[in-house]
């Protein structure tokens, strides 16, 4: 006859084995899921420029102004960001000014073209992170600003 210790050990080993199997299946099933979020952004107005002399899957989204300079092929300035904690909050509409300043360090950006890009990163509890973006081109900085 088996003692209480043997029975507890067998039960614990069986439970841990089932838990490990469920984790492996959940991790492998993530490869079958292809997230396909959609987004739309519209910039209605740029209010001002300033010259500076010098529980569930979460979704991190941010809007960045992207432009080229002779030194760097890609420069990004984050203008707005948000964390969407759950799927039920993923559909929203906001009317806001930029959260972070779009600063020109010198006179390098006057009358330069830039793109507004909406980036999103899906951060699941388990599995790989998924990232994508929408690029909107055709924006130009003004000739003069403060």
Rounded distance between C-alpha atoms, residue 138 and residue 119, angstroms: 18
22-64: per-residue pLDDT in tens? 988 888 887 777 666 666 666 665 444 343 333 457 888 888 8
Residues 98, 60, 99: CA angle, nearest 5 degrees: 15
- Is the pLDDT at 66 greater than 70? The verdict is yes
Residues 143, 66, 127: CA angle, nearest 5 degrees: 165
In DSSP terms, which residues pair with 27 in a beta bridge? Answer: none
- Residue 119 CB coordination number (10 Å): 19
- Is the pLDDT at 145 greater than 70? The verdict is no
């Amino acid at each position: 006859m088996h003692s209480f210790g043997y029975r507890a050990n067998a039960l614990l080993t069986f439970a841990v084995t089932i838990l490990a199997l469920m984790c492996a299946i959940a991790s492998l099933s993530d490869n079958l899921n292809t997230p396909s979020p959609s987004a739309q952004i519209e910039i209605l107005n740029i209010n001002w420029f300033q010259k500076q002399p010098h529980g569930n899957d979460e979704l991190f989204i941010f809007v960045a102004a992207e432009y080229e300079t002779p030194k760097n092929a890609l420069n990004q300035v984050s203008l707005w960001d948000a964390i969407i904690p759950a799927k039920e909050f993923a559909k929203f509409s906001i009317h806001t000014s930029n959260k972070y300043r779009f600063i020109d360090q010198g006179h390098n950006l006057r009358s330069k073209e830039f793109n507004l890009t909406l980036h999103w990163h899906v951060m699941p509890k388990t599995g790989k992170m998924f990232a994508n973006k929408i690029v909107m081109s055709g924006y130009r900085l003004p000739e003069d600003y403060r």
